[in-house]
Structure 1
Amino acid sequence: MEVGSPPPGGRGPHHRDPHHRGPHHTGPHRWGAAVNRRAPWVLVLPALVALVFLVLPVAGLLVRAPWSTLGTRLAQPEILDALRLSVVCATLATVFCLILGVPLAWVLARVSFPGHRLVRALVTVPLVLPPVVGGVALLLVLGRSGLVGQWLYRWFGVSLPFTTAGVVVAEAFVALPFLVVSVEGALRAADLRYEDAAATLGASRWTTFRRVTLPLIAPGIGAGAVLCWARALGEFGATITFAGNFPGRTQTMPLAVYLALENDPQAAIVLSLVLLAVSVVVLSGLRGRWVS
């Protein structure tokens, strides 16, 4: 046998067996791929119960909906007022959250300072705080005799509770953490080499943030803004506690649903369908970011 000739069978040192599955094999049986196998009933049955538990209330809402008079009911003045107020307040709350939330997320993601973990925990407290408790806290701080509200009223004559501005404040309080968490995650996932390259080329910190960082995290900001808007639109507890339930002034759609349940259940179903449609649209927009 000559030196360098392949061994019997034609398999040299660099021969690859076509049936060999290496560590980087990406065939149909790669890690994480769905495998068609028989699931145990001990898992299937609870899964089916959970699915029915989640889907049945929505199905009941659709079945009991007054489809024949849906258009007429949506055109009623009280429903239109609640819908208009909800959209306007949720949009203003989202803008408020964007103005304050994006810088806060940048500080949490890029700046190291003593008490960083404590500050981040405080920012996310409204995520787990009962909304009614949040409304009470806002009253104690921003009420006419509150820690800050008394000075606002004494110096500027501004009283936030039980006003449309109070609705915006309550919605922003409960929705802001959703935006901050989303943007902070996008900042941590962004490649810092682009920012370093911009700084090396002489760009200031503000220019780097505006021309480099913002485009990188734009998808995260968009997803956070959509989620923030949806959360503000569906807020109930903090709004009714801090702003009250006055038609045309502070009565948003969730509050209108609550009030209509006693007097006009069909109107409550119609408003619930609107909120359900908004939820479906939000989930469809975020599906590529969360579900896939």
Structure 2
Amino acid sequence: MFSGSHVALITPMFEDGQVDYPSLKRLLDYQLNNGTDGLIIMGTTGEAATIDFAEQLTVLQFVIDHVAGNCQIIAGNGSNSTAEAVEKTKALDKMAIDGFLTVTPYYNKPTQKGMLAHFSAVAAATDKPVLLYNVPGRTGVDLLPATVAELAKISNITGVKEATGSLTRLRDIQALVGSDFALLSGDDASACDFLLQGGHGVISVTTNVAPKAMSAMIRAARVGDSATAKSVDSTLQPLHRDLFIESNPIPAKWALLRLGLISSDFARLPLTQLEPIHQSVIEQALQAAQL
């Protein structure tokens, strides 16, 4: 089961838009040295939408080589075309990764029946574990608990990243799936409560910036130490909120630049760099987290 602290890793870039591999190495070491259990590579936060697939494979291989088995690696394989998602899955399956994160098809707005068929086809293209990813705020479609439960019957669909921020949604899914089905929060602001109510882990944007504190919060919550978990989480709440003051990963990239971990906060168009008016807000959130 995937559990614990996972980071939805940004992809650092130079000002010309090319991937900044020296900064990527620093980010990987920052995560490995501060308790992160898993890396999500080429998800939404990694700007997969504007990185062509050949380039994605190069980035992923760099991560695999550098991590050298010391951390789980989960690859984003999503598309709003089922055929494309299947082909991506087949190509990625040949690499030394631990599993896949598959987002609901965006823009098309498929029915629950369509999503059932989509995820079934992706899972059939690999023997590796597949995590469902539900983020209605970005995709325009909601993967409902009954559909998650139906997909959980497929042997290599092993969990869900649930990013609605609804604890009622967590309870609804818990009632329908087995205890071996991984329930991962994709909403940093509610992640602490998600874990205290039986969730297994987090796939986090905040962990890009504050991996040590996120790891400490998650470990405390998973053993039921509510006081410690909530105390740590209280210092992170400004980051949870303000790293979304503009579209993710724009604020996270600026924060990592401010911390000296990347050389530029460049993001590929149509994303832009953080507006100056928001920089002091992120600065204050970093201070609250003692960074």
Whichever structure has more helix as a proportion of its residues is 1
Greater per-residue strand proportion: 2
**Structure number, greater radius of gyration:** 1
Same-fold call, TM cutoff 0.5: no
